[in-house]
Amino acid sequence: MKIGVDVGGTNTDAVVLGPNGVLGWRKTPTTADVYSGIVSAITQAIADAGADHTDVDCVMIGTTQFTNAVIQRKSLLPVGIIRLALPATSAIPPLTDWPDDLINEIGRNSYLVGGGYEFDGREIAPLDEKAVAEAAVEFRRNGIGTAAITSVFSPMNGDMERRAAEILQNEVPDIAVSLSCELGQFGLLPRENSTIINAALSKLSGHVVQAFRHALHELGLDVPLFISQNDGTLMRADEVQRYPVLTFASGPTNSMRGAVYLAGIQDAMVVDIGGTTSDIGMLRNGFPRQSTNFVDVGGVKTNFRMPDVLAVGLGGGSLVREGGQFVGPESVGYELTSRAQCFGGDTLTATDIAVAGGWADIGDRSLVRADKATINAARACMRHLLDVNVERMKTEAADLPLLVVGGGAILVDWQVQSVSNVLRPEFSSVANAVGAAIAQVSGEVERVVILNDANRDSILDDARQEAKNKAIGAGATATSVEIIEVERIPISYLPGNPTRLRVKAVGDLPI
Amino acid sequence: MELKIEDVDDLCTGAAFLGAGGGGDPYIGGLMVKQELAAGRKIEIIDPDGLDDAKLIIPTAMMGAPTVLLEKIPSGEEPIRALRVVEKELGRRADATMPTEVGGINSTIPLFVGARLGIPVVDGDGQGRAFPELQMETFAIEGVAGCPLGISDEKGDTSLVMTSDNHRMEWIARGITIRFGGTAYFANYPMSGADVKRSAVKHTLTLAQRIGEIIHNSRSRKQDPFDELCSFLATTSYAVARVIFDGKIADVDRRTSEGFTLGSVSIDNPNGRCVIEFQNENLIARADGEVLAIVPDIISILDAETAMPITNETLRYGQRVKVMAVGVPPIMRSEAALRQFGPQAFGMLEAYHPLE
């Protein structure tokens, strides 16, 4: 039996998951110390399941703590930044295009030094070890306790970054070091940005992971702890402590994956209706379709992909105006329970329409002041919003159901165009925690290769094997590991057919 | 006209549109230009029609793989050193620089050079869009010599290429680019103000900026970006633009051959399928065996919602797109021009029929 936990800004949810589905669950407020909220949610969820602590095999936690810290500019450390690249790259130094208020937290302690690789693996210049040591001395003098090291083409070869880390740690023994090669993916600037943010979070990540461990300890759970990462797979807690940025996009991924699991299917459109907006996405084989764009976190372009989600201004708190002609995008948001008419407030909201129309039963129907015409018009307006936007996000002709989840799911009682049927899975209010609990572990390989007929098979086989080994290293059982993605993108405008190869494997945890 | 920092994103988006699927993402170049402007340097874009005939203009650009550029960002000295190589050979300083190619990343390199050296940038280029090779220039078609060509990398290496054959110029420079690490920066087609007036595709930088402005802002003006693009382009020397297909990407097929990314993308809608073949840039769009548009006319695949251009590297199954075709100015449609970059130059049998 597994436990999935979602630690959000407002609520901490826990679910107990057995082989056949959800056994118990609990939603509790997130606490300032994080861990006591987790303890209380897990304790009550286990009780709800009628189970015992000794039945728990492992705990999976999804968290938005790190994303929130960056967005709110909280708990960020000043970072020593080293880029191994000279004589290249000086046209765009680190932190270019960053918001000023974030630079105020991070500082401007950046050093460009000799080093880096060419696309074909040659060195641009040898690593300037002396310059790295000098930077280290400066970091120590300025009391900087965390550093980000990025080298050109390090996803292909991380040796220089690792050597620079060694030099840094010789000079400043307790410095925390983040390496860009560990964060994968080509594109120097977004990768460097992610590495810097990662370094800035190094203290918070220690605290958060400690809080998670503390919670498990207090519960008497001596079981493996995993944390969900961006792509919907899991990392070990000690890895998250070193690479907290890998959790940035895990929230929407978990919620969508949890929803399809709860519905017992693999392919679906999903709409998650909250208080102010509806997030619409598409899942294939249990995974959300990824956006082609990079994620912008707190005004910084990172190298992570998010599920391709369209936010539409329709939620439980959406304002209904002009006799139901317009619904949203303005919303009473979290004040729904005080301002909506069905709760005794003075504002007509989308929730009131559903209550007055008789297809939702919350609050007091008799308090809602909306005539039949308004109800019909508002319903048509909401219906149109979903029809158009679900159709927009549905990128193939196949017959797919629509899963309606989230607190605002009660708004919908009609058929939506372009989907086969509308489903409201049970337990969908804790879909996020379920998404964490069902996740697998993964391994990924990315490199530039020169493919020809003679070597194609062996190069692809090697990359597949390496990705599988990484997944096994991350905790997957060898028999369950499979390759789920092989991407080959030719590098244009260069003779010799160099190709960017990316292979990803996933596997199950041994439970 | 002085280029402002807030104009740069518009110009880059317009340049990606004119890149016809290729030309490289102008993201890095745009950041380089913004960095210069933020540091207080100025960029003056000047009208080619107002150029003194005797001035010396030396275009600057980058060549090689945009994918490599995303990792190995330049130092910024490369295009300047390349320009100096040509100046030294000619024994004369450049009065201005200009793009060889307005489509993609190469719209930005001369802006950067102009900012660093304090020389103006001529509002025009030699391709009016993006093409993959250095001889595919209206400058060449109108008799301007490609060489001397200066080329440089971040390490400070430079090379001077002298040949009277522009195809050989391309061949040699491409070989050097590999040795330079996959990207290189060059200056070529040095010419007089009179040559520019005669041989350039004019006003393409301001055109790119305006295209980007429409794509970014038409929605907030409550306009349809596609309609607005078509009506705007109709007032320019490109004369005609329209959406030739609207649908979802059903298939992307890519392979490489000697520096070209060859392939095709299939786009489906309930009425049929449009297939676009590309060779770095989009070359031909067909539906039901009928040619909808063909090179040198511009075929750009745009996000169906935002009208943001999608480069061929980022085409993905399932994207909703609109395909827009744009005619090209008369200087790009002459017989000599079509020999250089018409359908036959890319090995196609179809004759060129200008978009109507």
- Same domain, yes or no: A377 and A275: yes
Percent share of chain B, pLDDT over 90:
85
- Segment A49-78 shows an average pLDDT of 89
pLDDT band at B162 (very low <50, low <70, confident <90, very high): very high
Residue B277 φ then ψ, to 5°? -95, 140
- Segment B145-155 shows an average pLDDT of 97
Instruction: For residues A14 and A21, give the distance between their C-alpha atoms in angstroms, rounded to a whole number.
Output: 14
pLDDT at A103: 95
Q: What is the residue range of A271's domain?
A: 264-427
Q: Give a yes or no: residue A171 inside a domain.
A: yes
Please write the tens of the pLDDT for every residue from B29-66. 999 999 999 999 999 999 999 999 999 999 999 999 88
- Same domain, yes or no: A234 and A316: no
Contact A91 B75 (CB under 8 A): yes
Is the separation of the CB atoms in A362 and A407 below 8 Å? Answer: no
- Same domain, yes or no: A279 and A409: yes
* Interface test mutation site (partner B, options A192, A395, A494, A501, max chain B beta carbons within 10 A): A494
Please, what is the average pLDDT of chain A?
89
Please write the tens of the pLDDT for every residue from A367-388. 999 999 999 999 999 999 999 8
- Same domain, yes or no: A286 and A386: yes
Structure-block tokens of residue B135? 């001889």
Contact B319 A292 (CB under 8 A): yes
Contact A188 B70 (CB under 8 A): yes
Is the separation of the CB atoms in A179 and A158 below 8 Å? Answer: yes
Q: Give a yes or no: residue A256 inside a domain.
A: no
Note the pTM of the prediction, 2 decimals: 0.86
- Same domain, yes or no: A91 and A192: yes
- When divided into structural domains, chain A yields a total of 4
Residues of chain B with C-beta less than 8 angstroms from the C-beta of A497: 256-258
- Same domain, yes or no: A141 and A165: yes
Delineate the domains of chain B, giving CATH numbers in brackets.
5-202 (3.40.1610.10), 224-346 (2.40.390.10)
- Segment A269-281 shows an average pLDDT of 87
Instruction: For residues A508 and A87, give the distance between their C-alpha atoms in angstroms, rounded to a whole number.
Output: 45
**CATH number of the structural domain spanning residue A169:** 3.40.50
- Segment A179-202 shows an average pLDDT of 92
3-state helix, strand, coil in chain B (%, to 5): 35, 25, 35
Global ipTM: 0.90
Which chain A residue is nearest to residue B155, measuring alpha carbons?
A87
pLDDT at B262: 82
Is the separation of the CB atoms in A179 and A154 below 8 Å? Answer: yes
Among the listed residues B141, B140, B152, B148, the one whose alpha carbon sits nearest the alpha carbon of residue B190: B148
Query: A83-92, A253-262, A396-405, B120-129 — which is least confidently predicted?
Result: A396-405
Please write the tens of the pLDDT for every residue from A241-269. 999 998 887 878 888 889 999 999 989 99
- Segment B100-123 shows an average pLDDT of 97
Q: Give a yes or no: residue A238 inside a domain.
A: yes
pLDDT band at A511 (very low <50, low <70, confident <90, very high): low
Q: Give a yes or no: residue A257 inside a domain.
A: no
- Same domain, yes or no: A309 and A359: yes
Please write the tens of the pLDDT for every residue from B136-146. 999 999 999 99
Percent share of chain A, pLDDT over 70:
97
pLDDT band at A493 (very low <50, low <70, confident <90, very high): low
Q: Give a yes or no: residue A258 inside a domain.
A: no
- Same domain, yes or no: A189 and A209: no
Beta bridge partners of B326: B241, B298
- Same domain, yes or no: A229 and A366: no
Beta strands A300-307 and A290-297 are: antiparallel
- Same domain, yes or no: A322 and A370: yes
- What is chain A's Cα-based Rg? 25
Residue A209: pLDDT above 80?
Answer: yes
Name, in order, each residue with C-beta under 8 angstroms of A371's C-beta and a sequence gap of 6 or more. none
Q: Give a yes or no: residue A434 inside a domain.
A: no
3-state helix, strand, coil in chain A (%, to 5): 40, 30, 35
pLDDT at B256: 67
Instruction: For residues A353 and A390, give the distance between their C-alpha atoms in angstroms, rounded to a whole number.
Output: 21
**CATH number of the structural domain spanning residue A358:** 3.30.420
**CATH number of the structural domain spanning residue A33:** 3.30.420.40
Which chain A residue is nearest to residue B314, measuring alpha carbons?
A292
Name, in order, each residue with C-beta under 8 angstroms of B211's C-beta and a sequence gap of 6 or more. B10, B13, B14, B17, B18, B229, B232, B233
Neighbours of A320 (CB within 10 A): 25
Residues of chain B with C-beta less than 8 angstroms from the C-beta of A492: 22, 65-67, 256, 259-261, 280, 312-313
The alpha-carbon gap from B356 to the nearest alpha carbon of chain A, in Å, equals 30
Contact B256 A497 (CB under 8 A): yes
- Same domain, yes or no: A365 and A463: no
Amino acid at A293: N
Instruction: Using the 3D structure, point to which of A427, A462, A487 is the last residue of a domain.
Output: A427
Neighbours of A482 (CB within 10 A): 14
- Same domain, yes or no: A282 and A402: yes
Q: Give a yes or no: residue A259 inside a domain.
A: no
pLDDT at A367: 93
Instruction: For residues A32 and A64, give the distance between their C-alpha atoms in angstroms, rounded to a whole number.
Output: 14
